[in-house]
Structure 1
């Protein structure tokens, strides 16, 4: 197994509100890529299964009762730079004063209120298709980026409009379109020669349609159970992984980039991934 920090960079490529329905529709790009690593359909979102709470836990490594984020707060307030619960972006900035960090989101509250301002993160908010194209352009001039996050919003928007679930054709089509955009970003990463020494996660924040067909937020398995996958140096293809929380994504980023994990984190590094743990 590799030592911590062998990855040169981390990409977190996310689609909002996809649950584990990527297995019920055409998603060839993520599935083909994740043959290089691991994929589970049984990861667990945090409660409540709402975007700010879930993306907040993924990026800050703690449960919602600690980071305190909700959709209204993320929309209206900047996340405090002196919070005891920093994002992985702040940890990276504290490690490297000049590292290139970037966040491309369709749902603007992530950049406005979940990822800290004032720490030199390149932030872009655009509709999904334009967003993916802007990442391709950015990477052409910034192959030395250290941490890049992407969030596509169409699956969640479609779920709210047309209903979530495997029996909702428009929702499934939205997931397929997100997979196509993820495929374009993966192609650019490969074209630029960045694939071999990058850890790449493909994730979602929550599902939907459990307690209410057009919504989410409950502890129903359809809201809470999500897909999660990653590939990169030292990750053996097909490694089984269980009991994964989306919060653990922060610990995986920290391990890959050799960042110091805060003691208070709820995030735990799955030992199967790198053969070590960030927590005793």
Structure 2
């Protein structure tokens, strides 16, 4: 009898050890928000906040979380960084390596169903096929960086104002899961007249006005309560150029505000632009692929301040 009891206890003990040591399967992420609006402003360096008047962006910063020390990937130029922002990886994997890349100069490590390195739009298309998603952009180069067959809006505006208006029409009417809005300013002014000039900061302030219009429209249509806004950029600049390795060119703003986003103010996390896609995926409750290198910014969502 004692032998049977001892044997039973040993088996029970082994079972407890086995199940306590067995790795737990990761639960599918919980969806935190219905709508995400990603606003990207081309050439908007983090340094712009020192001189420009940007009340709309400062509202998002004060009522949400932000970093003015987020970084672009290298080279610090347009296509390579917009691709990284929505592809969750850097150029060594997605292959877009130049400011105006239309196809990867380096073969993409992974080719998705959209025949390019998979973006956040492909994740939504596969995991939430019933939801809407769209892109409204002022610079035509954006059109080469996402799966056109997977979005419900593909609009290349002739101005930032037109781009904003089309995006808002789509958001209000379709209630999409994700809308990516790309503005070409202040980059155009930076190249034509120069960064860190009065004209550059005027262009920055116009972008802030467009952001304010977006916030107002979301509030008016009762959408802001179920929306997260992320604002960022691809690079900064020096003189009339960009693409270099200075902080003025590499440091970009990264601002997140909205539903389930605590009021934390400035973040201490090291943020790279490809973390944006992973953070959007986390917000929408999507599983991210192993080949992505971005990670969601945990500091935004943890309970500690």
Task: Give TM-score, length-normalised by structure 2.
Answer: 0.82
Are 2:172 and 1:146 equivalent residues in the alignment? no
Relative distance call for 1:73 and 1:33 in structure 2 (3 A) is closer
Q: Tell me if the contact between 1:22 and 1:175 (Cα under 8 Å) persists in the aligned partners.
A: no
Q: State the partner residue of 1:231.
A: 257
Q: Tell me if the contact between 2:135 and 2:167 (Cα under 8 Å) persists in the aligned partners.
A: no
Q: Which whole-Å CA distance do the structure 2 matches of 1:84 and 1:4 have between them?
A: 28
Shift of 1:62: 0.3
- Which residue, out of 237, 243, 255, partners 2:270? 243
Q: State the partner residue of 1:29.
A: 56
Are 2:91 and 1:59 equivalent residues in the alignment? no
Counterparts in 2 of 1:1-280, with a 5 A limit? 4-20=30-46, 21-69=48-96, 70-74=98-102, 81-82=112-113, 85-111=117-143, 113-126=144-157, 127-142=159-174, 144-165=175-196, 168-209=197-238, 213-239=239-265, 240-275=267-302
Shift of 1:27: 0.8
Q: Which whole-Å CA distance do the structure 2 matches of 1:67 and 1:272 have between them?
A: 27
Shift of 1:216: 0.4
Aligned residues: 266
- What RMSD over aligned residues (CA atoms) do the two structures have, in Å? 2.0
Shift of 1:76: 10
Q: Deviations over 1:57-112 (max 9, x none)?
A: 010000011111134432799x964358310011101112231111010011212x
Q: Secondary structure at the match of 2:102?
A: helix
Q: Secondary structure at the match of 1:4?
A: coil
Q: Secondary structure at the match of 1:218?
A: coil
Q: Secondary structure at the match of 1:10?
A: strand
Task: Give TM-score, length-normalised by structure 1.
Answer: 0.89
Shift of 1:232: 2.4
Structure 1 stretch displaced more, 66-75 or 40-49:
66-75
Q: Which whole-Å CA distance do the structure 2 matches of 1:84 and 1:140 have between them?
A: 29
Q: Which whole-Å CA distance do the structure 2 matches of 1:179 and 1:141 have between them?
A: 24
